[in-house]
Amino acid sequence: MSQPFRTLLVGLGARGRVWARLLNEEPRVTIAGFVDQAEERLAAIRHAYRVPTGACFTDLGDALGAVRPDLVMLATPPMGRSEDALRVLEHGAHLLCEKPLALDLGDAVRIVEAAEQAGRALAVGVNFRYQHCVTRARAIVRSGEIGRPAFSRYVYWRNRDGYRPGLNRYPLTMRQPMLYEQSIHHFDQLRFVYDAEVTRVSCRCHNPSWSMYRDDATVSAVLELSGGILVTYIGTWSAQTKMTDFEWRTDFDRGALVQRQMFSDLSIARGSGAERVEPLPLPAQEQLVDDARLLLAHVAAQLAAGTLRPHPSGLDHLKTLGVVAACEESHHTGQAILMEDFYARHNVPDRWLAWRETGRPER
């Protein structure tokens, strides 16, 4: 095996601490330094991982100059992310960035452009793709065993306590928190599982009177995907009760797939007119950790093989972030958005849109 990638972890909040654990466990990388604006977070990591003081920084620029990492894991909040991402790429490091790549599609395009020009890898942490139920659903779609997906309902109905200790605070006050922080994972899953691209969106966002979020915590959207797939989506963090509802049901030419828990409970109905579903048993996963572990292992393996657009790539992420941004615009204008026009208005090159990832994980 080649030398492990010397990695700088930036952001030691709720998510960064998970990444610290995963980077520490992944044999193809070694943690060369930590960055956080908050001294107490650096002190806690020094204590947990016995890191020398000289490997801890409060400023990204200082850390890049001192550590000269091969890879940077950016796990800061998305505000101000584009400046940090561009700085990392200017320093010649590969970048693995948490989602969303940016809060503005134009900024995300500039980051992808910078990575392409620098010949550096850019991957995005859309770890939901690595949940077993998601890779299994994708494999069923690709096998064609129950035909092609035709239409679906995606329901994510949750009361998320944004003040819960240990949870990030910034979604309470950011623009469109549900869309940019949560629905982005769901839209990415839809594209990934159906192996299809969103062609048209229509969306309304909403914030109930009791919401603890300053901006909309509910997203209601209709998405049309290539191959004629129609998706009705509703996602909320502002459910009135603590009873979480999740259901992602897709009807196919000759059956259906139904997922009834956020991270598990996938079942299949075979044949048109089927009267029951059969469970599809899958190994258990630690939520939001084991999927990210698989993502990291996959990205590290691709970097070791010299792949410059490792899956899940920044390039591919533009088409998930694009759907999020188009939903926001549709909400404001009250108009349906044709994605082709939307990408043209945001200067996303056609050759990037035409590019398809290969070597994606399958079960």
Ligand X SMILES: NC(=O)c1ccc[n+]([C@@H]2O[C@H](COP(=O)([O-])OP(=O)(O)OC[C@H]3O[C@@H](n4cnc5c(N)ncnc54)[C@H](O)[C@@H]3O)[C@@H](O)[C@H]2O)c1
**Which residue ranges make up the site for ligand X (CB under 6 A)?**
10-16, 35-38, 41, 60, 75-78, 80, 84, 98-99, 125, 127, 168, 170, 181, 288
How far apart are the C-alpha atoms of 169 and 302, rounded to whole Å? 34
Nearer to ligand X, 110 or 254 (CB): 110
| Shortest separation between residue 60's beta carbon and ligand X, angstroms | 6
Nearer to ligand X, 137 or 178 (CB): 178
Give bridge partners of residue 221 from the DSSP assignment.
Answer: 203, 233
Q: Is 347 helix (H, G, I), strand (E, B) or coil?
A: coil
Tokens of 300: 């590290």
How far apart are the C-alpha atoms of 5 and 71, rounded to whole Å? 6
How far apart are the C-alpha atoms of 213 and 217, rounded to whole Å? 6
Amino acid letter, 289: V
| Shortest separation between residue 18's beta carbon and ligand X, angstroms | 8
Nearer to ligand X, 168 or 220 (CB): 168
Amino acid letter, 319: K
Element (H, E) at 201: strand 198-206
Distance of CA 326 to the CA centre of its chain: 17
| Shortest separation between residue 91's beta carbon and ligand X, angstroms | 15
How far apart are the C-alpha atoms of 8 and 20, rounded to whole Å? 10
Nearer to ligand X, 11 or 69 (CB): 11
Nearer to ligand X, 66 or 150 (CB): 66
Nearer to ligand X, 94 or 129 (CB): 129
Tokens of 209: 């009177």
Nearer to ligand X, 41 or 94 (CB): 41
Q: Is 173 helix (H, G, I), strand (E, B) or coil?
A: coil
| Shortest separation between residue 127's beta carbon and ligand X, angstroms | 5
| Shortest separation between residue 302's beta carbon and ligand X, angstroms | 18
Asked if 341 contacts 325 with a C-beta cutoff of 8 angstroms, the reply is no
| Shortest separation between residue 228's beta carbon and ligand X, angstroms | 30
For ligand X, which residue has the nearest CB?
A: 13
| Shortest separation between residue 16's beta carbon and ligand X, angstroms | 5
Tokens of 17: 């601490």
How would you classify residue 314: left for phi > 0, otherwise alpha for psi between -120 and 50, otherwise beta? alpha
